[in-house]
Amino acid sequence: FTASHNPAAYNGIKLCRAAALPVGRETGLAVVAQEVIDGVPEYGGTSGTIQDRDVLAEYGEYLRSLVDLAQLRPLRVAVDAGNGMGGHTTPAVLGAIPGITVLPLYFELDGTFPNHEANPLDPANLVDLQAHVVATGADIGLAFDGDADRCFVVDELGVPVSPSAVTALVAARELGREIGGTVIHNLITSRAVPELITERGGTAVRSRVGHSYIKGLMAETGAIFGGEHSAHYYFRDFWGADSGMLAALHVLAALGEQQRPLSDLMADYQRYEASGEINFTVADAPACVDAVLTTLSSRIQSLDHLDGVTVDLGDGRWFNLRTSNTEPLLRLNVEARTTEEVDEVVEQVANLIAARNEPAP
């Protein structure tokens, strides 16, 4: 399940250094791969050791020690593990919490993901959990991806909760433990996130989209927490790495220590409306971006190029356009105060992209 939501053929071995530092293509994995291709060289150092140890119980105990769960009211928690690792870890973590009733869905470990892709970022993969929440009368629904480093939340009505709202909630809780702390958020998260961080006396640091950028800033700034629009949540108490389960515990604690339903609770953190990420297949992404900026130039209040281009149109309306690193795609995210304003900006930008992307006659 190391390949997260990707097909089973992509699963393999995930390498980390001490303190959960990732080993990726740019940090040693390419060298290791080439050495294997060339024929693994003999290692001249001291031989290492192999230890086989089941740490699941310790893992659960450690996560629970990081969140105050003493005031929880009884909660019915629907969990869709997507046949991934969440089915292995959820009983060990949530099953030991008094008052929590876990309502499992797809807990059987199966890397072929027979029920649906283990990618809760795609709304189609939340449908079963949404129905399960409503059918069982659950107070909350949790959906994990294949390796359970991401967690999506569904409220008691079966409505998905924005990862930005979850980021804001967890940030508020962590800042309650460390006043003045630093919180990382990527530039696609709602502007409600930095607003709330500032209101709670914290320092908000904006990041490019992607694991490596968030983790790098977590280490560089000593941030207590970081969140992404993709439902990756990073914790200093988890070695700067992401943990869907730890984020879930924070949401459960926030829900269980008061009497309001989750839909009401999360409304406190949902200040704006968002489009979600919209992808356009384009032949010339830079030309499309230029066309959008040129046409909208008279309305632009400010823009920056931290990751693609982020355009502020004023009055709470903004959008980001950025290209995919691996596909001929242009990605659009829009936020505004109302759904109507979001739809208006999406339509304008989409029409400009389509016009510029039309083949020449």
Q: Known catalytic residues? A: 4
- Burial code (b: 16+ CB inside 10 Å, e: under 16) for 106-125 equals bbeebbebebbbbbbbeeeb
Q: CA-to-CA distance for 256 and 224, rounded, in angstroms?
A: 23
d(CA 11, CA 147): 10
CB 189 within 8 A of CB 282: no
Q: How far is it, in rounded angstroms, from Cα 112 to Cα 8?
A: 5
Count Cβ neighbours within 10 Å for each residue of 166-201 and write b for 16 or more, e otherwise.
bbbbbbbbbbeeeeebbbbbbbbbbbbbbebbeebe
> Can you list the positions of beta strands (E) in 267-328?
273-274, 278-281, 302-304, 309-314, 317-323
Distance CA 201, CA 204 (A): 10
User: For the packed helices 86-93 and 56-65, what is the interaxial angle rounded to 10 degrees?
Assistant: 60
CA distance 143 to 155: 12
CA terminus-to-terminus distance, the chain: 48
279 strand-pairing partners? 331
C-alpha span between 268 and 169 (Å, rounded):
9
**In angstroms, rounded to a whole number, what is the distance separating the alpha carbons of residues 104 and 255?**
19
